[in-house]
Amino acid sequence: MGKIRTVLGDIEPTALGITYMHEHVITHPPASVTDRDLAMESIAAATRELSHFHMAGGRALVEMTPRDYGRDPLALREISRVTGVHIICTTGWLKDAFCRPWTEERTINELAEEMIREITDGIDDTGVRAGVIKAASSLNAITPAEEKVFRAAARAHRETGALISTHTEKGTMALEQIDLLRSEGVTPERILVGHLDHKPDLNYWRAVARTGANLGIDQIGKEKYQPDHLRIELILAMAAEGYGTQLCLSSDLARTSYWPSYGGWGGPGLTYILWRFLPWLRERGLDVQQIEAMVIATPARLLTLNDV
Ligand SMILES: [Zn+2]
């Protein structure tokens, strides 16, 4: 039976507990990112926020910051140790605007080798190992640089059994991402397509789910994009059609202003899903088992490194 690879080492899937599948704990975005609200650099604030998450029942987060967006494996290890929250960190790259300088001069196999090294040996000389693989596309397009990352992600997946977790821009290109990974031998059951609640369209979600892929409903609490009552309606409809075990919930809180722990009355923070969104789903008729599938069983299944 495979294990789950956290920043502190491997754990049994049954030890994972309530998990958000797409968050950011520490980010050091490149200088080209002029909106500095996106720089989440305080270990003290992260420790506070993850302590609140733990108090609310949360036990694990997948930290989806890749190298080209300023990943910080040593900080993650320290924060995990202090708060007791399992953190799974990622290898791979972000969308074209970020990954191009890192990928342009390198072959697909060289990119795959780096991913495999980060999963099996560790990130640089930190000793921290990645537990998921990230690949990303742009708005309505998969650029040549992004395609290289997807193909490399597939090869790294075939070697390590790690989940491929994607970024879609505004929810677009989900089916194209799946097709591309499939053409490299990835089964859709080992893909988590991110940010689908940017495209709150039941037919679209159904089409993704029918392939066998998993859906990231990971903008919860960001009502400036979509109101949460719409997310609730879609989740209920998907669960009623039998797709509930392919849904993952998260908030992708990648700004200091999304966390109360940075001061300034920011929100919704990492407790929102547990203390507001899940009770709302329960009130609307999802049973405990259906809820626990989305936050416990499915994350454990997806994060387990498949035997290869
Ligand atoms: Zn993200």
Q: Per residue of the chain (308 residues), what is the pLDDT tens digit?
A: 699 999 999 999 999 999 999 999 999 999 999 999 999 999 999 999 999 999 999 999 999 999 999 999 999 999 999 999 999 999 999 999 999 999 989 999 999 999 999 999 999 999 999 999 999 999 999 999 999 999 999 999 999 999 999 999 999 999 999 999 999 999 999 999 999 999 999 999 999 999 999 999 999 999 999 999 999 999 999 999 999 999 999 999 999 999 999 998 999 999 999 999 999 999 999 999 999 999 999 999 999 998 76
Cα of 164 to ligand 1 centre, how many Å?
14
The three-class DSSP label of residue 255 is: coil
CA–centroid distance, 130 to ligand 1, in Å, is: 16
Domain count of the fold of the chain: 1
User: 13 lies in a domain?
Assistant: yes
Assess if residue 308 is contained within a domain: no
What distance in angstroms lies between residue 66's CA and the mean position of ligand 1's atoms? Answer: 9
Residues with CB under 5 A from ligand 1 (ion): 64, 252
> Which range of residues forms the domain containing residue 13?
4-303
| Residue 234 counted as domain residue | yes
**For residue 141, is it within any domain?**
yes
Nearest to 20 by CA among 285, 253, 238, 202: 253
- C-alpha 258 – ligand 1 centre gap (Å): 13
- The CATH number linked to 267 is 3.20.20.140
Q: Ligand 1 centroid to 217 CA: how many Å?
A: 12
pTM over 0.85: yes
In a domain, 256, yes or no: yes
Q: Is residue 105 part of a domain?
A: yes
